[in-house]
Structure 1
Amino acid sequence: MSLENFLSQLWCHISFILAISGNSYVLYATVMRRAIRLDKLSIWIIQNLAVFDLINTILILTPVMISLYADSQWVLGATLCKISYTYKYFGFTANVVLINALSVNKAVCCVAPLRSLGSSKVQKCLVTVMTAVLAAIIPAYASLKSFALDEFVVLFSRSQCMCSSVQIIETGNFHKIVYYVLAATLNGLPCLTLLGINTFLVTYAAKKTKRAVKKTNIVIVVLITLSFLLSILPYFFYSMKYGNIHNDNDKLLRFVTFVTFTSLWSNPVIYLVTNESFRTFTAESARKISRTQDTTVQHIAI
């Protein structure tokens, strides 16, 4: 095994463990104990983020790990290769939409502080449904390319350890224009929107918000956004520059691809560092587990 594959495997295993454990714990803490103190709609969005990150970990990262064990070869069959290729766009866009929703909601809370902190079922359903609909647009186009058009074929990229499309016939400008428009409007524009909204939130917190709790809540949203952008933008810029990103011998492509896995587990770490109620809940849970283990050991000794 090469050093590159060993380091890639190590990074994937760390990301997988942190993503599964961290996001599962966030769901448990927010659904069962309401351990993160934010408005209810923000909590709902955070729960959606955790669910999508768990799904992304299983459907995106797991095949990558299997491929690395197979010496960077795809062993799951042609059909799963196409499914994996189309889903990765869904998972990425869903995160973009949800983090935008979280930022917009926090901006509205700042501008209208007397707004009800509750959230209706309609609002919650709207967030989830709109996320799924918008996230499905690029995968639908990718599916059309991979299943219906003769100009493209889906192959495994050793650099990415993922499946990607390869253009085999010149398609003209139409498909190129569609690709860039979809990428810009569903990925690039939301990322720019995130930067704008979070600039506003930071300015608002610095000038108008005096309560420490509100400032902390704004910090959480800003850090979630920055973490996501720092993990995703290198891959986005690479794909916009080179277009079709199937490549078997590109170390830069592997690097920007594997950096994206940070977004799968960074949110739980941010909640733990910035949210006092979540940190307190975690500490209390750890003490309970420790006491339970001590009691068990004592019973066994007796």
Structure 2
Amino acid sequence: MASANDPFTTCLVGNPEDNKNWTVYLQTLYLLLSPAQESEMNPTSHFFETTEYAYGYDENTAPCNEGNSFRRFKSLLLPILYCLVFVFCLLGNSLVLWVLLTRKKLMTMTDVCLLNLAASDLLFVVPLPFQAHYAAEQWVFGNAMCKIMAGIYYTGFYSSIFFITLMSIDRYIAIVHAVYAMKIRTTSCGIIISLVLWLVAGLASVPNIVFNQQLEIEQSMQCVPTYPPGSKTWKVASQFAANILGLLIPLSILICCYAQILKNLQKCKNRNKIKAIKMIFIIVIVFFLFWTPFNVVLFLDTLQSLHIINDCQASNRIALALQLTETISFIHCCLNPVIYAFAGVMFKAHLKGLLQSCVRVFWSPARGPGATQSSSVPSQLSACSDSAGML
């Protein structure tokens, strides 16, 4: 055991009998350890994860490293999943846009809603190639792209929810208030409402554009939301907004709308009405099955920010669950086109007509362009007009 006169001991703490030297030693040790505690709080590579790097030491926040399973999932599986979702969503929703836009005009409110929903899904997955590289390596696209991708992500997120909700309200008005529906379920009304919803979705994403920035953390460039020092208000508000606008309000509206629709259908034996709402039911059910787990985990992450959950192991599990459920939620963007094909009878017929037209153009040169045009295009227009109010 080192004596009090040991030069090494004296160099470190001075005379142990001197309380002032012990105070200096503890203060120095505190200053040396504080930065290390900040740097160990590793962010994860997605836009919903949040952090604070400009704060002072918070005794309620314990340093917590990512687990090995989380690192492996983030660096190996996430890029593959992101790329697969991006490719399938791009193909499927581009096909939906192609079918809708080849009609000479958008004829109903439903057409407008489906068009905007497909556009929202495409917008929502635009950041995925960037996120795939980010999960495997680091953020190399600069601060401006960090903010732009966060804005696109949140705009697509909110707009998808808004248009699914609008489609349900549209079905409710068309079935329960059929007479009144003739006045307001017009293409122009649908376009105006769509513009308003896009504006609201854009405004809802503004805080994320402002706070997201590129930071160098542990010699690695990260794109993370960085909130004001010493305050959890913005983070908690952002996550509560995602829960409320992304699940609670839409779910409440859908329950009310479909409860009234079911009451109306009990009085009516018209099968066409059941077919008309079948696709909407499927879209809504699939959407909330894929998004509810993420919203639940996001709520748990909010509780962690409020120190209601304050355990390192629980924090790692929440971070892993947040990544996993967010990745699962992306899949709904790929399912919407499949739902259109199986549930939308007239949509499927029109798609079949367009594909047959393409086959005739590229694989029947003997008939000539004039014959192909005269035989296929009129049938497309006829199918289009027959399906004016149906999808």
Match of 1:277 in 2: 346
1:279 deviates by 1.9
Q: Equivalents in 1 of 2:139, 2:200: separation in Å?
A: 29
Mapping of residues 1-302 of structure 1, within 5 Å: 5-33=75-103, 40-58=108-126, 60-68=127-135, 71-114=136-179, 115-116=181-182, 119-120=185-186, 122-146=188-212, 163-167=223-227, 169-171=229-231, 174-175=233-234, 178-179=237-238, 182-197=241-256, 199-200=258-259, 203-204=262-263, 207-243=266-302, 250-291=319-360, 294-295=363-364
**Judging changes above 3 Å, is the alpha-carbon distance between structure 1 residues 247 and 165 closer, same or farther for their aligned structure 2 residues?**
farther
Q: Which amino acid aligns with 1:103?
A: S
TM-score, length basis structure 1 = 0.77
TM-score, length basis structure 2 = 0.62
1:233 deviates by 2.0
1:22 deviates by 1.4
Q: Which amino acid aligns with 1:18?
A: F
SS of equivalent to 1:22:
helix
Q: Equivalents in 2 of 1:34, 1:163: separation in Å?
A: 43
Whether the 8 Å CA contact 1:74–1:156 is kept in 2: the answer is no
Q: Equivalents in 2 of 1:3, 1:241: separation in Å?
A: 20
Q: Equivalents in 1 of 2:85, 2:320: separation in Å?
A: 19
SS of equivalent to 2:87:
helix
Larger Rg: 2
1:270 deviates by 0.4
Q: Equivalents in 1 of 2:281, 2:215: separation in Å?
A: 37
Deviations 1:36-68 (A, max 9, x none): 9xx70011011011112222222x222123334
Whether the 8 Å CA contact 1:84–1:163 is kept in 2: the answer is no
Fraction of identical pairs, as percent: 19
SS of equivalent to 2:83:
helix
SS of equivalent to 1:116:
helix
Whether the 8 Å CA contact 1:99–1:225 is kept in 2: the answer is yes
Structure 2: which 5+ runs fail to align?
1-70, 306-314, 367-391
SS of equivalent to 1:171:
coil
Q: Which moved more, 1:136-145 or 1:194-203?
A: 194-203
Q: Equivalents in 1 of 2:224, 2:253: separation in Å?
A: 27
**Judging changes above 3 Å, is the alpha-carbon distance between structure 1 residues 163 and 46 closer, same or farther for their aligned structure 2 residues?**
farther
**Judging changes above 3 Å, is the alpha-carbon distance between structure 1 residues 62 and 275 closer, same or farther for their aligned structure 2 residues?**
same
**Judging changes above 3 Å, is the alpha-carbon distance between structure 1 residues 290 and 121 closer, same or farther for their aligned structure 2 residues?**
closer
Whether the 8 Å CA contact 2:146–2:214 is kept in 1: the answer is yes
**How much is the aligned-residue C-alpha RMSD, in angstroms?**
3.7
Structure 1: which 5+ runs fail to align?
147-152, 298-302
**Judging changes above 3 Å, is the alpha-carbon distance between structure 1 residues 123 and 287 closer, same or farther for their aligned structure 2 residues?**
closer
1:221 deviates by 0.8
**Judging changes above 3 Å, is the alpha-carbon distance between structure 1 residues 96 and 32 closer, same or farther for their aligned structure 2 residues?**
same
Q: Which amino acid aligns with 2:151?
A: T
SS of equivalent to 2:205:
helix
Q: Which amino acid aligns with 2:242?
A: A
Q: Equivalents in 1 of 2:176, 2:339: separation in Å?
A: 24
Deviations 1:139-192 (A, max 9, x none): 22233444xxxxxx66699xxxx94324572216x5466446533542233232
Aligned residues: 283
Whether the 8 Å CA contact 2:86–2:125 is kept in 1: the answer is yes
1:194 deviates by 4.3
SS of equivalent to 2:224:
strand
Whether the 8 Å CA contact 1:155–1:165 is kept in 2: the answer is no
